[in-house]
Every structure is written in structure tokens, then in C-alpha cells.
Amino acid sequence: MNELLEATRARIEWALAHHPGLAITTGLNISGSVLIDVAVNAGFSGEVLFVDTGYHFPQTLDFWDLLKNRYGQAQFVTLDGEGSAEALYLSDPQRCCAVNKVAPLYDYLARRNIPALLNARTRDSATTRGALAEVEQGDPVRINPLIAWTRKDLEAYRQEADLPLHPLYLEGFLSMGCWPCTRAVRAGEDPRAGRFEGQARTECGIWTNSKTRSPGGVG
């Protein structure tokens, strides 16, 4: 663990030195809490971005407030989705993600000219993420300092650092998302099996939108 932590911290220090103004994005999974903690301890004092789609579990919004209060060194910024009177997640879930999740983030990045994002994806978090690179070039550059962490590593760090845990994690919500599109994972399933069930996709579009700040290319 010490070696892994040191390598992660070194990558974050490199990112802070080479990409001044970078921000952290988080979906409030256990890896997000670990990333924020390690980054703050490495000197990060920038923005932590969270997109409030309007469809989060109440526990998720409470957890966001809890992290905000814990890490006064960083600036926690909530980005709001478009909001919609109709249940777009039923009629057109890809568009729902595009207007409530992807566009709010990428519009903000463009407005603030944020050059790079630190995020907490791990190779272990889904079978589809096994080849995730540590640095993904694009606009913005995405830096993934936790790629080598397993769930066991994350849980060990969380315990050691006494980090708060999203209350739904212990109920099997290993990958947190909006309530209409997320369920608890069953024993033996892929950690992201609880996301987008029945929608023939595993991603909301934020991370598959690699080459441009525009919200097109949602997948």
C-alpha cells in the first residue's frame, strides 16, 4: 500500500505542477473520497466538481455536503443539470445524460478554461476499464492517478485515513449514479453492473467524450 500511495501522490504532484488550474471531478464513489484525500494531502486546493443531475439519491447529496465540510482547503463546486419537467431518463436516457450530466460539466470547463481533470477511475472498477491509461490526452487532459488501485486498496486506505463512506456503498452500490439508472450490485457481478441496466451502455458520456469540450459524442 505504501508504494502504491507514494506513486499516486507523486503522480498527483506531477499533475499539479504541470497543469496549474486543474480540477477534480467526482461521482462520490469510494475512489472519489480517496482521490480527494490524497490530493489535498499533496497540496491540492483547487476546485472539486460534482454535477447535480437532479436525480441523485438524497444520501449522495448529503455525502457531498459532508465532504465539502471536511475539506475546507479545496473549493467544492456544484454544477446543475438542465432540469426537465418530463422524465427524460425514461424516454431518452442518452439525452438525459447529455443535458443533465455531460453538458453542465463541459460547459463549465470551457467557461473556466480548466486545462486538466484529475479523476478517480480505476481499472478495477469495470471490465470495460481494464486498459485505462494513466494520462489521457485531450481537451481537457484527463489524469487518472488511481488506475492501479483495487477495491481492497481503496477500502484499506479509507479505513486507515478514517474517511467517510457513502451510506449506500455498504448496501452494494459500488458505482454510484442517479437513482433511475443505478441499482445495488449482486455478488459476483461486475462492479458497474448496477449502472444503466437495460440501456445497452455502461458509461454516461463524460469519459467517452475524449477529444472535445462540446457535449456531443455521448455514449
The residue ranges that bind ligand SF4 (CB under 6 A) are 53, 55, 89, 93, 96-97, 100-101, 177-178, 180-181, 204
Amino acid identity, position 6: E
Helix, strand, coil shares of the chain, percent, nearest 5, are 40, 10, 50
CA distance linking residue 37 with residue 174, whole number of Å: 19
Query: Which parts of 117-169 fold into alpha helices (H)?
Result: 151-161
Long-range pairs of 192-199 with CB within 8 A, sequence gap ≥ 24: 192/125, 192/126, 192/128, 196/93, 199/93
- Taking the complex as a whole, the smallest distance from the CB of residue 120 to ligand SF4 amounts, in Å, to 18
- Taking the complex as a whole, the smallest distance from the CB of residue 64 to ligand SF4 amounts, in Å, to 15
Residue nearest to ligand SF4 (CB): 178
Q: State which residue, 154 or 178, has the beta carbon closest to ligand SF4.
A: 178
**Known active-site residue 204:** yes
Q: State which residue, 52 or 155, has the beta carbon closest to ligand SF4.
A: 52
Q: State which residue, 97 or 146, has the beta carbon closest to ligand SF4.
A: 97
- Taking the complex as a whole, the smallest distance from the CB of residue 195 to ligand SF4 amounts, in Å, to 8
* Contact by Cβ (8 Å): 183, 191: no
Q: State which residue, 91 or 212, has the beta carbon closest to ligand SF4.
A: 91
CA distance linking residue 17 with residue 1, whole number of Å: 24
CA distance linking residue 183 with residue 194, whole number of Å: 5
* Pick from 216, 196, 209: nearest CA to 95: 216
- Taking the complex as a whole, the smallest distance from the CB of residue 53 to ligand SF4 amounts, in Å, to 4
Active site (catalytic) residues: 204
